[in-house]
């Protein structure tokens, strides 16, 4: 392998090792302290200044501005934070990320002795314990060790470039073309999904003399623009409220970077006159840039919020009318018939939410998309709101005098609402997890298995529509048909399992894994269907048509 190729290979390996170390640190922090980190931020959303400080501190711990942006976008998707305070957190996260980059880029001496100790200690802790926090603390130490080790690898990889005259001339020429270096820095930050990796590359070129401070400034401004792009691409599937935050952050960083690019000749003169080394000068300017961005835009976060709302309007939503109950009118409680009609209407709307949730899960299954599964949580939260509001409304109604038919009707609605929530829990906690495993492990079902899941899902969807109609009309015949569907589903399920286990001998371990996952999904559909068809039981029971037990009495005693 010629020396030039060896330099490129070692450089790519060093960057990859750095990105992997960052990922290990981020994963360890989120798995062990993710909830606490999220609460730490939420508790400090009292003002823009405290939100800014919490974003800076949390990112200094997490080590990734992109990861922090995704956490805040998730909070925004749930409605717990608006763009104004969310942007303040992200501005703090940018500053925290710049400080972390400066520490690592200037810590080559630390890397010489700390990286092997961290990797060794992290491996021991990670291997010895299985408790969540100690286990992930070991993961964090390994990640930090790999990050420091990558510094040495990058430094070693770029050492031959000190003598490469052509490379010096090329990099110097690029550095003296501000627009070109700006775009290169932005592209690298977006491609690596890490400003830290680009900062380390620039730092290595500064250290070996390939770049001077003035030539590195274009790269630094570009990476500050490109560092906001990964969060935008990662939140494309989230609600618009979540997507506005990364866009607002990009607007702030991008505007400041473009202004900095226009003033680059003056900034380069100041950098050349700096008493510090070129490396420390550039790292300091990178941190100063993010501090100035925050200082300027913090007072104008509301203005940026209005701008991003114009750039990214909410637009019409199919389920916007299902955000919360509408018809639980307190004044109608004096008239039980009207109040019960209101509760019935809201229960049907809750059923629509469950149908949307089930359809979303099926889309994730068919598309093998883990991102689509993220849409289930807000739907489940809305269903919880419907359940609590409807049941509270019926409890308040029951405080008055109700005749027996109205009491029975209130009980029917209460039980069905509870079963709808149980069905939602099966989707969000069980079925979604199995879909995630299938997508993550690239598990494939046979054509017959796919067809079976599709047919069973169609039965569930049809029963959900029938159950809403049965509840609305208290239709006895419809209730009987609905209950009969439970037996139909069970019979079909039993036939599926019989054929499934007879169709060929599964011998490989992966075949057993696929089989177990398929059976678990069928069982989840069975549970969802059982909760839905339960709407028919109170109606049939009130008509005196429900058997006391499903067990057949023995025809004759044992002799």
DSSP string, 196-228: HHHHHHHHHHHHTTSS-HHHHHHHHHHHHHHTT
* Higher pLDDT among residues 548 and 407, named by residue: 407
What does the domain layout of the chain look like in residue ranges? Answer: 3-311, 320-542
Q: Please tell me the distance from the alpha carbon of residue 249 to that of residue 190, in angstroms, as a whole number.
A: 15
Q: Please tell me the distance from the alpha carbon of residue 305 to that of residue 161, in angstroms, as a whole number.
A: 46
Report the range of poorest mean pLDDT among 30-34, 185-189, 279-283, 461-465.
30-34
Other Cβ atoms closer than 10 A to 125: 18
Region 240-269 average pLDDT: 88
The residues, any chain, with a CB within 8 Å of residue 6's CB and separated by 6 or more, are none
The residues, any chain, with a CB within 8 Å of residue 84's CB and separated by 6 or more, are 48, 301, 302, 305
Q: Which two tokens stand for residue 116?
A: 């092997």
Tens of pLDDT, residue by residue over 68-123, are: 787 787 777 666 677 788 889 899 988 988 888 888 777 655 555 778 888 999 99
Query: Nearest to residue 206, comparing CAs of 263, 262, 283, 269?
Result: 283
255 phi-psi bin (left φ>0, alpha ψ -120 to 50, beta other): alpha
Tens of pLDDT, residue by residue over 351-383, are: 999 999 999 999 988 888 887 888 888 889 889
* Angle, CA of 316, 320 and 324, to the nearest 5°: 165
Tens of pLDDT, residue by residue over 225-254, are: 988 888 888 777 677 877 888 899 999 999
- Taken as a whole, the chain contains a residue count of 559
Please report the pLDDT score of residue 553 as a whole number: 45
Dihedral angle over CA of 533, 539, 543, 549, nearest 10: 40
* Angle, CA of 463, 467 and 469, to the nearest 5°: 120
Please report the pLDDT score of residue 120 as a whole number: 92
Q: Please tell me the distance from the alpha carbon of residue 371 to that of residue 394, in angstroms, as a whole number.
A: 37
Helix ranges, 368-475 (H): 370-373, 376-398, 404-425, 432-440, 447-473
Q: Which two tokens stand for residue 557?
A: 């005693």
Region 195-216 average pLDDT: 78
Contact status, residue 83 vs residue 252, Cβ threshold 8 Å: no
pLDDT class of 409 with cuts at 50, 70, 90: confident
Contact status, residue 191 vs residue 229, Cβ threshold 8 Å: no
Query: Nearest to residue 377, comparing CAs of 26, 5, 35, 77?
Result: 77
Q: Which two tokens stand for residue 479?
A: 């209730």
By CB atoms closer than 10 A (0-12, 13-18, 19+), residue 223 is: buried
Residue 423 has pLDDT above 90, yes or no: yes
Helix ranges, 474-508 (H): 476-502
Q: Please tell me the distance from the alpha carbon of residue 190 to that of residue 170, in angstroms, as a whole number.
A: 23
Other Cβ atoms closer than 10 A to 318: 8
Q: Which two tokens stand for residue 308?
A: 């991003």
CA distances from 467 to 244, 291, 335 (A): 38, 58, 25
Q: Please tell me the distance from the alpha carbon of residue 219 to that of residue 227, in angstroms, as a whole number.
A: 12
Contact status, residue 308 vs residue 249, Cβ threshold 8 Å: no
Please report the pLDDT score of residue 507 as a whole number: 46
Q: Please tell me the distance from the alpha carbon of residue 386 to that of residue 326, in angstroms, as a whole number.
A: 10
Kindly report whether the global pTM for this prediction surpasses the value 0.75. Answer: no
Dihedral angle over CA of 193, 196, 199, 203, nearest 10: -140
Q: For 320-542, which CATH superfamily applies?
A: Phosphate transport system protein phou homolog 2; domain 2 (1.20.58.220)
Query: Nearest to residue 90, comparing CAs of 293, 289, 233?
Result: 293
């Amino acid at each position: 392998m010629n020396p030039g190729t060896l330099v490129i290979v070692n450089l790519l390996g060093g960057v990859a090792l750095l990105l992997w170390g960052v990922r290990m640190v981020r994963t360890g922090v989120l798995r062990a302290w993710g909830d606490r980190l999220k609460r730490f931020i939420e508790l400090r959303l009292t003002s823009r200044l405290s939100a800014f400080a919490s974003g800076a501190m949390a990112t200094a711990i997490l080590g990734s501005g992109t990861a922090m942006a995704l956490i805040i976008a998730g909070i925004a998707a749930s409605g717990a934070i608006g763009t104004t305070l969310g942007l303040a957190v992200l501005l703090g996260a940018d500053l925290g990320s710049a400080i972390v980059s400066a520490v690592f880029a200037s810590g080559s001496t630390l890397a010489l002795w700390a990286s092997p100790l961290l990797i060794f200690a992290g491996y021991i802790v990670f291997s010895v314990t299985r408790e969540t926090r100690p286990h992930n603390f070991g993961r964090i130490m390994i990640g930090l060790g790999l990050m420091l080790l990558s510094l040495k690898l990058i430094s070693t990889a770029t050492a031959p470039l000190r003598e490469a005259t052509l490379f010096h001339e090329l990099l110097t020429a690029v550095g003296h073309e501000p627009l070109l270096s700006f775009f290169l820095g932005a592209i690298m930050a977006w491609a690596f999904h890490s400003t830290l990796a680009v900062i380390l590359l620039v730092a290595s070129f500064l250290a070996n003399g390939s770049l001077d401070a003035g030539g590195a400034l274009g790269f630094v401004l570009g990476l500050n623009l490109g560092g906001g792009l990964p969060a935008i691409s990662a939140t494309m599937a989230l609600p618009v409220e979540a997507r506005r935050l990364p866009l607002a952050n990009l607007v702030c960083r991008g505007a400041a970077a473009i202004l900095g690019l226009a003033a680059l000749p003056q900034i380069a003169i100041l950098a050349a006159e700096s008493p510090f080394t070129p490396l420390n000068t550039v790292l300091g300017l990178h941190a100063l840039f993010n501090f100035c961005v925050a200082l300027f835009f913090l007072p104008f976060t509301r203005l940026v919020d209005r701008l991003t709302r114009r750039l990214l309007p909410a637009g019409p939503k199919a389920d916007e009318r299902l955000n919360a109950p509408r018809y639980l009118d307190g004044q109608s409680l004096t008239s039980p018939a009207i109040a019960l009609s209101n509760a019935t209407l809201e229960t049907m709307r809750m059923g629509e939410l469950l149908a949307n949730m089930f359809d979303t899960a099926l889309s994730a299954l068919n598309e093998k998309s883990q991102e689509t599964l993220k849409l289930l949580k807000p739907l489940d939260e809305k269903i919880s709101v419907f359940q609590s509001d409807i049941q509270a409304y019926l409890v308040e109604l029951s405080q008055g005098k109700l005749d027996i038919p109205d009491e029975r009707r209130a009980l029917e609605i209460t039980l069905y609402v509870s079963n709808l929530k149980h069905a939602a829990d099966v989707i969000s906690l069980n079925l979604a997890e199995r879909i995630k495993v299938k997508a993550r492990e690239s598990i494939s079902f046979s054509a017959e298995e796919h067809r079976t899941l599709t047919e069973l899902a169609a039965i569930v969807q049809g029963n959900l529509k029938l159950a809403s109609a049965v509840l609305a009309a208290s239709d006895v015949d419809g209730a009987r048909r609905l209950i009969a569907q439970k037996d139909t589903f069970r019979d079909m399920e039993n036939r599926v399992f019989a054929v499934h286990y007879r169709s060929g001998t599964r011998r490989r371990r992966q075949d057993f894994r696929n089989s177990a996952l398929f059976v678990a999904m069928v069982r989840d559909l069975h549970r969802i269907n059982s909760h839905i068809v339960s709407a028919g039981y109170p109606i049939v029971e009130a008509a005196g048509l429900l058997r006391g037990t499903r067990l057949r009495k023995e025809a004759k005693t044992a002799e």
